Structures are given as structure tokens and as C-alpha cells.
Amino acid sequence: MPEGHSVRRIANRFNKDFKNSPIKITSPQGRFVDSTLISGQELIEANALGKQMFLHFESGTIRIHLGIFGKWSFSKLEKEPVGQVRARFQTEGLIADLRGPTICELIDQAGVQAVYDRLGPDPLWPDGDLKQLARFLERVSRSNSAIGQLLMDQSVIAGIGNVYRAELLFRAGLSPFTKGKSVPQEVLVGIWNDAVVLMALGVKTGLMLTRDGYLSAKVPRFERYQVYKREGLECRLCFGPVSIGLMQARKLYWCARCQK
């Protein structure tokens, strides 16, 4: 599933290529029936919060959540849609096709606000300042759940997925099993600030780069991570084995020696 940085990249792309232009919106698959209500209007702005994207038009907002199987493809050439295209966004010289999203729906301003209220603070939110951080601290500090679980909870922090979860906790030297309310405040502040920097780098490069000294797009995949998908291999720091387990049905990677 795409993590927040990749959703933000798509929103940026919409702002660059589609904003202030009338957009023809169709649903070749026929499942996004409300497309006809918006088609032809100008895109006012694209925004992303966590793993969800919002395309704001004059008479409504299209909310998109890719889920596990959703995908975007962009094309400069006009061609017939291939496969199951839920929504096609077309402006002069550019087509964006959306396939397999969990959600693609038209909502009103109140609907947007309801989703915003439900989601936690996003390290990539443009005014991602102390208010966002305060919300994160408040939500973690009152919880009995494990921090590894809380980082995946979109109402606690929006946009983090399995890769950033594993890597942020390793970088903080924190066990994923520590209860939220037992994590010292300064450690939480460190995790938040780390997420702000690393996810911004993810927006810039399109890659989840998390190893200091290896923060370049040229780093091969197997060199990229500290613990993610490195189960059984030597920890890069202590040379002990990287562990794997399941936490709420998602794979969890950590180093039991480095993360206390």
C-alpha cells in the first residue's frame, strides 16, 4: 500500500498539471457515476492527507483512497482506456487513469471535514507545525496500545505505513512493543521530527530512504532499509539478527538488541 509520501506526490502532480484547467472526468468502468456531476469543471486544488487524496472542484470534492490495489497511470497520448479504469481525468495533452481504488467518491465540504477530523496529524501537512505535533503526542501518550500499532493507526498519525513504521522505530531505538503512554515525550518528538524529514525526502525522490549516509535515490533497494524486509539478516548496527513478527496481521520488522 502506498505510504503518505507517494499520495502527496500524486497531489503535487495534479496541482502542477491539472490545476486551474477544466477537466473532463469519465468512468470507463461505469462505477464512478458521480463523475458526470463534476466533469468539465476546473480543478481548484489537489490535497493529500495521510493516504487519501482530495481533488477540490467548485461543486464538490473527489476523495480517493488507493487502498492496497489502487494505481495511477499518466499518459500524454490520448488512447482508449486499458483494463478497469474507475476514473479518467483528462485535460489538454494529459490523461490520468485511476484503477482499483478502495474509494473514489464525490463528497461535499462537510464530508471533507469529517474525513479530516477522523484522520490524525500528517507529518507532510504543509502547515505541519507544533499543532500537528501536539496532536500526535496527545494521541500516543494516552494510549495503552503498542507504539508499533499506533504508528499504523491513521487516526494517530496519518500517512505512515509498514516501511516507515519499521524504520522510524529502529532509528529511534524504540521497541515496537512499548506502550504508547510509556514512550518518553522526547522520543516521540524525535520520531515525529524524523518522520517530517524522511517523508519530505520521500516526496522529493519518490523513494522511502531511511538510512543516514544512504539518502540518495541511487541507493539500491537492498541497501535502503535498516530493518524492513531484512528478517534473519544481520542488523547493520549490532550485527544481531533482525526479527520478524506479526502485529495486527501486518509484518513487523525490528532488532531486539537495538530497540528497547
Q: Which residues are designated catalytic?
A: 2-3, 51, 250
| Integer CA distances (angstroms), 2 to 5, 31, 52, 110, in order | 8, 23, 10, 26
Closest CB to Zn ion among residues 89, 170? 170
Q: Is 257 in the site for Zn ion (CB under 5 A)?
A: yes
Query: Judged by CB under 5 A, how many residues of this single chain contact Zn ion?
Result: 6
User: Rounded distance, CA 94 to CA 77, Å?
Assistant: 7
Residue from 37, 44, 134, 238 touching Zn ion (CB under 5 A): that is 238
Given 7, 87, 196, 255, the residue binding Zn ion (CB under 5 A): 255
Residue nearest to Zn ion (CB): 235
When asked if residue 114 is in the footprint of Zn ion (CB under 5 A), the reply is: no
Binder of Zn ion out of 40, 237, 248, 251 (CB under 5 A): 237
Span interacting with Zn ion, options 68-76, 135-143, 148-156, 252-260, rule CB under 5 A: 252-260
Q: What b/e readout covers 105-144, taking b as 16+ CB neighbours within 10 angstroms?
A: ebbeeeebeebeeebbbbbbbeebeeebbeebbebbeebe
> Rounded distance, CA 169 to CA 254, Å?
8
Q: Provide, rounded to whole angstroms, the least separation between the CB of residue 226 and Zn ion.
A: 9
Is residue 37 a contact residue for Zn ion (CB under 5 A)? no
Smallest gap from Cβ 243 to Zn ion, in A, equals 10
**Close Cβ partners of 102 (under 8 Å, ≥ 6 residues apart):** 65, 66, 67, 68, 69, 70
Residue 49 in the binding site for Zn ion (CB under 5 A): no
Nearer to Zn ion, 6 or 226 (CB): 226
Instruction: State the DSSP code for 110.
Output: H
Q: Are 99 and 70 in contact (CB under 8 A)?
A: yes
- Does the footprint of Zn ion cover residue 258 (CB under 5 A)? yes
Nearer to Zn ion, 183 or 255 (CB): 255
Task: State which amino acid sits at residue 202.
Answer: G
Among 235, 243, 252, 254, binds Zn ion (CB under 5 A): 235
Burial of 184 (0-12, 13-18, 19+ CB in 10 A): exposed
Residue 2 C-alpha cell reads as 502506498
Nearer to Zn ion by C-beta: 37 or 237? Answer: 237
- Name the minimum Å distance from CB 237 to Zn ion: 5
